[in-house]
A and B are shown apart, each in its own frame.
Chain A
Amino acid sequence: MNKFDKLSGIAAPLPLINIDTDMIIPKQFLKTIKRSGLGVNLFDEMRYDDDRNEIPDFVLNKPQYRDAQIIVAGDNFGCGSSREHAPWAIADFGITCVIAPSYADIFYSNCFKNGILPIALPQEQVDVLMKDAEKGANARIEIDLEAQTITSSDGEVFTFEVDAFKKHCLMNGLDDIGLTMEKAASIDSFEASASQARPWV
């Protein structure tokens, strides 16, 4: 997994609440058996018309946001299905950080498995960064995961919360499975006692 440490980038504003995983990556692109290549279909139905032409008004089609590395969005980002294709598409597009007031649970967890940092901030602070994002290439937002800070283009600094274990994994690009396998003895002993207590499982 790619490490996440510091980022200074352009942010694309998506001022909508309840952006769901069907919007992020519609179901017709879930038929892949790979993780890569989904960036071109990120927000597909908002991004392209019926003839596959780009819809110029959509934020990621605007010249100043084509290289965006951050999304700023409304409440409950990533609600809906568990499809990890959503963070795969986001990462494949080149976005490694999302800023929103809140996230759906499964999406939030999926981000950390794919080198994406989802940051939850109070609405007022998201509003400030949304305005920043609307300035396009004239405004770079800086994120420092180690220090847990976001700096707006005007130099305003916000701090954010992140789970210590998730932060550690993201900063070091660690593979969860490898870490868990180091605890195999605990799993073995749990299995042995559970099979005594609940042999029907």
Chain B
Amino acid sequence: MSPKTLYDKIWDAHVAHEADDGTTLLYIDRHLVHEVTSPQAFEGLRMTGRKVRAPEKTIAVPDHNVPTTLDRANAETMTEDSRIQVEALDTNAKEFGLHYYPVSDVRQGIVHIVGPEQGWTLPGMTVVCGDSHTATHGAFGALAHGIGTSEVEHVLATQTLIQKKSKNFKVEITGKLTPGVTAKDITMHVIGETGTAGGTGYVIEYCGEAIRDLSMEGRMTVCNMAIEGGARAGLIAPDEKTFEYCMGRPHAPKGAQWEAALAWWKTLYSDDDAHWDLVLTIDAANIAPSVTWGTSPEDVLPITAAVPAAKDFKGGKVDAAKRSLEYMGLTEGMALTDIKIDTVFIGSCTNGRIEDLRAAAAILKGKKIKDGMRAMIVPGSGLVRAQAEKEGLADIFKDAGFEWRLAGCSMCLAMNPDQLAPGERCAATSNRNFEGRQGRGGRTHLMSPAMAAAAAITGKLTDVREMM
């Protein structure tokens, strides 16, 4: 048998039909659904009299629109159009018989945090969702990617997706990370190297010692931003940490089925002599705590650097950088650590898990945020929130001056009331620094939870290593 990559193995195990030209019907094991990209798909089913083919493999949770303030049970905190969208999901989930975690359920949260937490995401699966950050689930060695609403409807109706196979891209992070450097810094650093289109047409497998050393939470952070590098999906081969994370979760297999699953999962790795279309190797020692300066996730620099000049770039990036610097209100040559911050947002499907909150709490313990700073922590799920309260993290955040919120996507994309005002500058643990992403005219700097916590204390972008 010819050697295969992990991606090849998962792909081959899910081909329901292949045409002569390679167009494949790929079977989908898990379909995650949220309120923003699904209403038109369910409406399409109704108009054509179609059913959901596998409701038992379909999981729905509202996350993008939901308010995260403690008074959210009061529907007046939601705008009318948001309320209609959440109600539509409610109706669709019940009518079509999906697994559903409503806003009132303690397990509700960001769909990409709820899926793994509840054991829906398992190694070797195909997972899709009408959301680009579905890449997150690749941390389990599951082939996971975002789809559009037409494809959501296609998966609902047929449990398959029409696909052509991507190419294989190996990103190896060798050696060990230095203190203060996290999974977020790895994934941002990689995008800084590849650019936002560097992964287009590929599925990335992240490997190497620094990746193996990461917890499952950290691996999810790395895979989450594979899409920011343009890749169809990010993958990490499952190992003992993966199996340990999955074991005992509500929807993970039990008993003999667990043993059978484990036997298969242990075959899910790239063979030594597998073919790679592209390879990138990075020494972990060369990765520093990183931040973005511009309006593309590829605008990544170590915190010790200075704001670049537009003329430092080539081709279309010169104009893009000029536009970014103007939008961000930055001048070339200024030290990144001189950039003052108005707001800190810790949360999102990138960094809203318990380990992220622990990292932020370690920096914030016994400290206060800078006077006038607006700072919020939005846990990724109700269960993350409960765990953080149990561990005393919530008290650390509240004592420091952070708002302690309920779960949702919140200020990552600002569809709910959590938004930046024009010109407001935010240290964010989310995944996109696009113009207007966190609110019209808002300025976003992406970074790790520890770096965001450090910025909250000093009021400017800060090298977290100085506070450790």
Interface residues of A (CB under 8 A from B): 15-18, 20, 22-23, 26-28, 30-35, 45, 50, 74-76, 79-84, 87, 102-106, 109-110, 113-114, 163-165, 176-177, 180-181, 183-184, 186-187, 190-191, 194, 197-201
Contact = CB atoms under 8 A, between A and B. Distances in A.
Contacts of A113: 148, 150-151
Interface of B: 13-17, 19, 21, 23, 25, 27, 29, 36-37, 39-40, 43, 48, 50, 53, 57, 64-65, 79, 81-82, 84-85, 88, 122, 124-125, 130-132, 134, 145-151, 153-154, 157-160, 162, 164, 196-197, 200-201, 230-232, 252-253, 257-258, 260-261, 264, 296, 298, 315-317, 319-320, 323, 413-415, 422, 432, 434-437, 440
- Tell me which of A82, A83, A183 has the highest count of chain B C-beta atoms within 10 A of its own C-beta: A82
Given A18-B296, A80-B132, A31 B196 contact: no
B40 A82 contact: no
Contact of B154 (A27, A177, A198): A177
Contacts of A30: 36-37, 64, 415
A84 B258 CA distance: 38
B158 A180 contact: yes
Contacts of B146: 81-82, 106
Contacts of B82: 31
A187 B25 contact: yes
Contact of A45 (B134, B253, B440): B440
Contact of B434 (A75, A80, A84, A114): A80
12 contacts: A16-B320, A35-B149, A81-B432, A83-B36, A104-B230, A105-B200, A109-B147, A110-B151, A165-B21, A191-B16, A201-B122, A201-B125
B102 to A, nearest CB: 18
Given A23-B435, A31-B36, A33-B88, A82 B147 contact: yes
A26 B413 CA distance: 9
Given A83-B37, A84-B149, A187-B159, A26 B436 contact: yes
Contacts of A23: 434-436
Nearest to A36: B40
A16 B316 contact: yes
B84 A84 contact: no
Contacts of B150: 84, 110, 113-114, 176
B319 A79 contact: no
A198 B30 CA distance: 13
Contacts of A31: 36, 65, 79, 81-82, 84-85, 415
A187 B24 CA distance: 12
A153 B434 CA distance: 34
Contacts of B81: 31-32
Contact of B39 (A33, A81, A105): A33
A23 B433 CA distance: 12
A198 B437 contact: no
Contact of A79 (B15, B27, B196, B258): B196
Nearest to B150: A113
